[in-house]
Amino acid sequence: MSETQELPETLRYNDWAQAVTEGRLLGQECADCGNVEGTPKGACSACGSRALDTVELPTTGEVYTETTIQVPPVQFETRGYQVVVVEVGEARVMGRVEDGGVAIGDEVTLSGYVDTDDDHPGPVFEPT
C-alpha cells in the first residue's frame, strides 16, 4: 500500500473501482460538514454540499450490518455469501464476505474484490 499515490480531486466511480482492484478504499470527505462517504457521490448525503475532497479510507473496519445471500445449490455456486456494511473510519462501505460467518461488531479487512460482470468490482472482506 503506497501513501504516495495521488488522489483524484473529484472522486468518480471509475477511480473508486480502480482503487478497489488495487486493494484500496477511497471515499469523500465533505469540506463543509465533515461527513465521510464510502462511495463516490455528487453531493454530501448529510448537507448537500458539493465540496467533497477525496480521502483514503482504512481497509480494516467493523461490521455495521450484515445479511446472508442464500445461493441455491445449483450450477456453480453452492454456498451462500454475506453482504456486509463495514465502518471504515467514519465511512461505511458495502462489500461481500466469502463463506460468510461474520457478525455485527466483528473486525474485517479488505482482502480482495469480486467483479461479477467485469465492470463493477466490489470489495471483499475477511475476518481480521
47 binds Zn ion, rule: CB under 5 A? yes
Q: Does 35 bind Zn ion (CB under 5 A)?
A: yes
Neighbours of 43 (CB within 10 A): 14
| Mask for 5-34, x = binds Zn ion (CB under 5 A) | -------------------------x-xx-
Provide the CB-side half-sphere exposure for 89 (13 A, CA).
16
Report, in Å, the least distance between residue 115 CB and Zn ion. 31
Nearer to Zn ion, 32 or 115 (CB): 32
Binding segment for Zn ion among 2-10, 47-55, 65-73, 103-111 (CB under 5 A)? Answer: 47-55
Total residues belonging to the chain: 128
Question: Which of residues 33 and 71 has its CB atom nearest to Zn ion in the complex?
Answer: 33
How many beta carbons lie within 10 A of that of residue 62, not counting itself? 14
Strands (E), 1-128: 25-30, 36-37, 52-57, 60-69, 81-88, 91-97, 107-114, 122-127
User: Which positions lie near Zn ion, rule CB under 5 A?
Assistant: 30, 32-33, 35, 44, 46-47, 49
